[in-house]
């Protein structure tokens, strides 16, 4: 497995929490914990920006993708807005998670709760070339549901 090293800074409100880590050898994402000072109650339909107490410094041409946790989604209807969220290599602010409650019951986020996953990925830069025509494909301009699957 390829590894990428990067620096991580703990903010004062992170004190007492564990650094992100992979839960298993095969895990793609590291769990991020809620660094809220008080419980955050999300009523059905509500969203909130939950702090992690962490700042990262990624190498150039990498990003951190912030993704929902499947257990929270299936059990409670808790997911992330703007997912996957992107933490760019040049961002130096706190990582905060936009949680939303799509469930039927209020959900309480407590300090230290695993609320999201962070996947580190390489980024490929695109170079655009303007063209008058594009190559033909069998799909063509067919949109959503066009292939019947």
Q: What is the pLDDT of residue 144?
A: 73
Question: What is the b/e burial string over 56-86, where b = at least 16 CB atoms within 10 angstroms of the residue's CB?
Answer: bebeeeebbbbbbbeebeeebbbbbeeebbe
92 contacts 63 by C-beta, under 8 angstroms: no
7-122: CATH topology is Deoxyuridine 5'-Triphosphate Nucleotidohydrolase; Chain A (2.70.40)
Instruction: Say how far apart CA 30 and CA 120 lie, in whole Å.
Output: 9
Distance CA 35, CA 21 (A): 15
The model's pTM: 0.88
The closest of 128, 113, 122 to 89, measured between CA atoms, is: 122
Domain coordinates in residue numbering, the chain: 7-122
* pLDDT at site 88: 97
Q: Per residue of the chain (149 residues), give pLDDT as tens.
A: 688 999 999 999 999 999 999 999 999 999 999 999 999 999 999 999 999 999 999 999 999 999 999 999 999 999 999 999 999 999 999 999 999 999 999 999 999 999 999 999 999 999 999 999 999 988 888 777 766 66
- CA 103 to CA 117: how far, in whole Å? 20
């Amino acid at each position: 497995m390829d590894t990428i090293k990067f620096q991580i800074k703990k903010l004062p409100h992170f004190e007492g929490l564990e650094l992100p880590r992979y839960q298993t050898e095969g895990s793609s994402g590291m769990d991020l914990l809620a660094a809220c000072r008080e419980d955050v109650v999300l009523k059905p339909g509500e969203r909130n920006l939950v702090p992690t107490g962490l700042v990262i410094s990624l190498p150039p041409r990498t990003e951190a993708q912030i993704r929902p946790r499947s257990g929270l989604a299936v059990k409670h209807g808790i997911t992330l807005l703007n997912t996957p969220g992107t933490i760019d290599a040049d961002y130096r602010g706190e990582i905060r998670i936009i949680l939303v409650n799509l469930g039927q019951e209020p959900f309480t986020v407590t300090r230290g709760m695993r609320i999201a996953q962070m996947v580190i990925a390489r980024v490929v830069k695109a170079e655009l070339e303007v063209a008058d025509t594009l190559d033909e494909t069998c799909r063509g301009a067919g949109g959503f549901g066009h292939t019947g699957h």
